[in-house]
Amino acid sequence: MLPAMSEQLQIAHVRHVLIRLEETIIFALIERAQFLRNAPVYQPGAFGEALEGESLCGFLLRECERTHAKVRRYTSPDEHPFFTDLPAPILPPLGFAENPLVPNTININSRIRTLYEETLVPLICAPGDDRQYGSAGVCDVACLQALSKRIHYGKFVAESKARQPSEALREALAKRDPSLLMAAITDTAVEQQVLDRVAAKAGTYTAELNRNATTPTVAPEVISAIYRDWIIPLNKAVQVEYLLVRSGR
């Protein structure tokens, strides 16, 4: 049974969700890394008109979201679609009266998709084209959805912090200063714990894979660097955006 929304704001639960998402992201990246970069997957028009002007990656992502939207995935406050032309749910609506988040339209999925396609895929995948376009694209969808959820969960993190603010955060909220907000929400010790935990998990999983592999999978330090350089900073960017919305009500 899922906890009530009020319970989801408890820092222990927030951390539990973020820790659980670590495995999801690590495995998704490892799965994608088994294929080469396969540049045509990200080129609009590379596979003709059947993809409605999208790249194969975008087409698969939109088709997945269209299906998931029908079963009300994107009515949940912790889910953020990459596309807006989605069908209405076929299931009866669920009420989120206890949704702790203030109304907002924050969605940085366009940034996440660009980062993933242009930076992360070349970082985790060996160069070349193995023509495994469908398999690579399916893995891309899993990666993008996991990254989006982890990054946008910053809204819940920010709401939790705002309800029990430190003195620095209280001052930053009063001034509505983005740089002060960023400084107030940053805890380098906690961030290092995340990086250490991700590196350890990735090391365990990849070591087993590499025992019988002809070519090594993505290195644990690369996955840790993805967290350090992109996932954590984007999560904090969402936190700052949310806190600005919240303090400006």
Residue 7 and residue 228: Cα distance in Å, rounded? 28
pTM of the model: 0.93
- Report the first-to-last Cα separation within the chain, whole angstroms: 33
Residues listed for the chain: 249
Domains of the chain (ranges plus CATH)? 5-247 (1.10.590.10)
Q: For residue range 178-234, what is the model confidence (pLDDT) as tens digits?
A: 999 999 999 999 999 999 999 999 999 888 888 877 677 899 999 999 999 999 999
Here the tokens at position 55 are: 């790249």
Q: Are 13 and 7 in contact (CB under 8 A)?
A: yes
Beta strands in the chain (DSSP E): none
Q: For residue range 33-45, what is the model confidence (pLDDT) as tens digits?
A: 999 999 999 999 9
Question: Which among 65, 34, 23 is positioned nearest to 135, based on CA atoms?
Answer: 34
Q: Are 106 and 238 in contact (CB under 8 A)?
A: yes
Q: Are 113 and 144 in contact (CB under 8 A)?
A: yes
Residue 160 and residue 243: Cα distance in Å, rounded? 11
Which run of H or of E encompasses 183? helix 178-185
